[in-house]
Amino acid sequence: MRRFGMVIRLKPDKVEEYKELHRNVWPEVLKTIKECHIQNYTIFYKDGYLFSYYEYTGDNYEKDMEKMAADPITQKWWALCKPCQEPLETRKEGEWWAEMEEVFHLD
């Protein structure tokens, strides 16, 4: 299992819209997330930033992320979510959410 922490800004005028979207995540999106071996997925909000945490349990992360990105329903979902978000300037090339470095973990 591999843990991921990701961060992105949330546009101030889109906070409520984003929260409302996530109160009613489409079942097909949730199904795709699980099929791509992601579990324990949580998104937190604080002071204009979103922080997500999830655990990846598969054996080919890149392939599973390509599968998710190719899913037409997920693409429609992202089309609603992305206008609410503002990526960090310091993210790596190709990232939307910036992957964070894990500096501590306790089981």
Nearest 10 degrees: Cα torsion 23, 24, 26, 27 = 90
Q: Is 22 among the residues known to form the active site?
A: yes
Whole-angstrom distance, CA of residue 49 vs CA of residue 85: 9
- Three-state DSSP at 53 gives strand
Measured in Å, how far apart are the chain's first and last C-alpha atoms?
Answer: 13
Locate tokens 């819209």: which residue?
Answer: 17
Max CA-CA distance within the chain? 39
Q: Considering 22, 34, 76, 82, which one is annotated as catalytic?
A: 22
Task: List the catalytic residues.
Answer: 22
